Structure 1
Amino acid sequence: MKATTAIVSIAVLMCGCGREPGGTIPELGGRVLTVDEFLAQPALRGKVSALCRNDPGRMGLTPNCVNVRRADHIASMGTADKLHLDLSH
């Protein structure tokens, strides 16, 4: 009986081996990127953004997903230096 319990316990513990821990992004190796870093790397930003959108329940509030959403928002707004308001009228 003890041997069966031990085998079942080991099998249950090993079920989680080999999987990424919840909320990690393999391409980043556990590192958290800032908004500026995501803005400087559009290809990586797109990949991370897609991963975050694909699994919002597990990934949505992780630091990288929060930062990449902010970077996406900033990138989609464009730059303010192209904005011209004519207030002379």
Structure 2
Amino acid sequence: MHSPPSDSSGGSSDLLVELIETLEACGLEDDAYQLHNYVDVEALQQLLASADGDLAVQFTVEGIPLDVSPDGVDVIVEDESDSITE
């Protein structure tokens, strides 16, 4: 048997799983959104793989701001000092 080439869609599948797991950890049900309406996961994976330096792509899915880099998927948390309290 042959193993798939390293640049096959396996990387985008891993990224897809990580995106979904991150959104689910934030309480978003998997039937509450269609990820392809927010991002092309294969194109995102290719972009991250081709970057020479630090690169992060930020986008929001159903109100959840995400930061995707070669290191993984993170939820963007606003610094509480930025909020104004009365």
TM-score exceeds 0.5? no
Task: Compare the two structures and name the one with the higher strand fraction.
Answer: 2
- Normalised by the length of structure 2, the TM-score is 0.28
Greater Rg by CA: 1
More helix by share: 1
